[in-house]
Chain A
Amino acid sequence: MDSLYFLIPIAILFIGAAVKLYFWAVNSGQYDDLETEGRRILFDDDEAPRERTEARPTDGEDR
């Protein structure tokens, strides 16, 4: 049981760090849009580079 006397303070330090990290995340706007950010990872851009090289020149002509 004696281990509790130093394990609990360590746990509390961890909570403190977690709260600090969470505050940083909220303040930097990471929770402002809950719908998009969670799914952005699913939009892989693997195929994009191939198409992008094709698209660039036409974009240029338009302007």
Chain B
Amino acid sequence: MKHSFIDQYSGLDSFVHRLDPRTKIIASIAVILVILLTPPGSWKAFAIYLLILLGWVWMARLPFKYVLKRSLVILPFVVMIAIFIPFFKEGNEIWGWNVWAWHIGITYEGLAVLVNVIIKGWLSMLCLIVLTSSSKFADLLQGMYRLKVPLIFVQIISFMYRYIFVLIDQAMRMQMARDSRNFGVNRWVIFKTMGNMIGMLFIRSYERGERIYAAMLSRGYTGEFPTTSRLRFRLTDACFATALAMLLICPAIFWW
């Protein structure tokens, strides 16, 4: 089945793609942290962050349309949680009406929180998209390991990444077979069927895990993973980090 959207642009060659993954991970964490720390309503600051992020997207040669489309992932959460805030937050009412015995009103404070959350959420999402579309997943993992994430954890993730697509395909085949057999008519049978599917998937995955482990043992696996690629922190990394840090400090200077 199709998984083409994953790692679609991480194979490009650009200035950003060539940066050390550690630089990009730390830079992303810094950008998101600064976005979170910015007080609500600092429009100039948010505009500057947006310019920084769009500049980053441009330097990474990522298509803007793709980045914007991916950033809509945030919408369901906004609809679920944040959309109610203007109606329930206490404060000055800017708009209200009565529906029978109920009073519905939108408060200025509530609207401010909503806008703040949407802007911060969307900017952070842009940052995460640039990070993940401008680095290969294996490089990100190596960067994580070099940033002191426990080796066993990084290895679990790298194995997971190898087998995710195999197991997703397996799960999707089961789902297709299920849907073609009049599934979903009886509510109680749904849970039984889902239980059987997931149980089968577990047993198959477990047996696959055993086979993989046996195959690796027979090829001399000792629990270590030698790698050939070396990460290097170059002059460009230093320049990128300094420029980014200076740009991020700018808004703080504006407020003072």
Q: Does A associate with B in a complex?
A: no
B residues whose Cβ falls under 8 Å from a Cβ of A: none
A residues whose Cβ falls under 8 Å from a Cβ of B: none
